[in-house]
Structure 1
Amino acid sequence: MHLKNFYFKLSKNMISQHPIINKNKKKLMILDSIKKKVYHGKFNNIINILNKGDLLILNNTRVIPARIFAKKISGGKIEILIEKILNNNMVLGKIKSNKKIKINTFLIINYENNIYATIKSKYNIFYKIKFISSITVWNIIKIYGKIPLPPYIKKKIDKKNKNEYQTIYSSKYGSIASPTAGLHFDKILFKNLIKKGIKIIFITLHIGSGTFQSIKSLNIKNHKIHKEQCIVTKNVIKKIIKCKLKGNRIVAVGTSTLRALESTVFKSKYIISLKKETNIFIYPGYKYKIVDALITNFHLPCSTLIILVSSFAGYYNIMSSYRIAIKNKYKFFSYGDSMFIIHNPKAFLDKIN
């Protein structure tokens, strides 16, 4: 399966740089991938698309201010993107620098307050970094860290807009990227969904830098996703089983939620609770076992996410619907418009030339 199959041309003006504040301007494309039909609406009408008894599952992860700026003793600028906090003074992260970084390089984060770090070792594309300070790593992140917006968003996060990249229900710190399909929801919508009889529950998947990582291999099956911490509780599993037995739908909000849910049966015959890392990479040919419908944004060409939605709806359904989205000027990526996709159980049979 060749990476070029998932390429499409997208102009820069279709990439939304700001959240869509006006609810009436938030577009929603509905893709019935079984009937191969596309419908157009507004996101606040999602309540009319969801059915009483549907189980809506969201990812409650919260973005940490994982980008930290530092300097070498020579004055050279360094940017650290924290992937994972290992303990009170150690992290795993990526480093951006104009020159090659050497092990044992000493970094200055804040000279006045004695906040320093040293690079201890390297694991693949990640560095193990030890912070030297009287305060913990988490406090250093809170004081000196910046929210790491995706590279295609050019605006900067400040005190006024620091929460616009967080979902309103986020509660578990650990991600370096927001589960952006959830940005469309607000408290009023949640209240109305519950009133209609739609169940709402949460899982946790802490999104890592793999969400930004481009696929290097032309054969997508050779691509590896970095491990991400995933928590799906026994209570969530019970509610999924109960929903399925009643013939109702499991609706995942965002690709991270879908990946977490499918991880519960990825290497098992039975659905199990999870509290461990997952690196599940879903591509066409995969047979879905949990999720019946997906709420998601429009994704990058040649990304793991457009590959995932192609496996869910069918490759030809997705590429056709994206051409329609471009023609109808839908906004793409994190701050853009959204899709409601009904799973096509025969999508795994698609033959991609």
Structure 2
Amino acid sequence: MVRRLSHRLVQSVILLFLVSIAGFALLRLLPGDFAEVLLLSQMDGTLPDAAAVDRFSAENGFDDPLPVQYLRWLGNVLTGDLGTSFVTGESVSADILLRIRQSLILALLSIGLALVLAVPIGCFCAYHAGGLADRLLAAASVAGLSIPNFWYALLLALLFSLTLGWLPSSGHGTIAHAVLPTLVIATTMTGVIARFVRARLLDEFHHAYIRTAKAKGLSQTRILLHHALPNILPSLLTLTGLQFARAFDGMIIVETIFAWPGIGSLLVASLLNRDYPLIQICFLVIACGYIIINLLVDYLVTLADPRVQEAI
């Protein structure tokens, strides 16, 4: 197991290195002079003269070759210096840590709610396959995947905030502020996970060990909890990891709509303000999130599935 996880860690470090190169290079290969675009974003639309652009380039090291700029930036990041925002003039480090915390809170609440709802629903539908509840779940799953997050978020805000006045429509600080964004993200994941649990359980119910357990007179609840669910746990962990990563995609939209101060809304704001140092760090943080989630899922699957350990 240690060897497998070591290989995955090395692969993840290489992938993160390549992502950092891509994110750094793409911003500098965009049309227009990089230094002039940055300076223009700080001057409220006033066109800078050539002398100001040259001075700004020299002060920030933009005259150096791209490999030199990248190595200098990477060295600063590795030592904890994430740079300075060109818009606020403040260090990126303090703000990015707060944003990561808020995004993690929202992601954990969403995936937790999705699992709490999806697993029981999937188990119920597996025991009543072809019934009314099963058909309703199928329809709800298709609807949840088809409805865009931004439209669904606006509908919930219109209903629960503007019409009923039960929940705040934006901001953070209390549990009430997290309800609507959590519902939006969790709803799309619930149908996918529930359908997956149903399909895997139906497959398990046809195996010989389930028939043996029934022949011994074990109750359906015991068969489900002690036999069927443990066997689908590795694949359920894998799917949960994929959905957790997918939650970060949805959070970019949801955080912006509900003004939740997470990494997604920060990325959108930095893109609109052309705050390139902040954009680079946001890309790097999101890539780290994906990689860490994949590593954690690999570790949990290895622990949960003895067959994986035997194959190592």
Question: TM tier, shorter chain?
Answer: under 0.3
Q: Which has the higher strand share?
A: 1
Q: What TM-score does the superposition give when structure 1 sets the normalisation length?
A: 0.21
Larger radius of gyration: 2
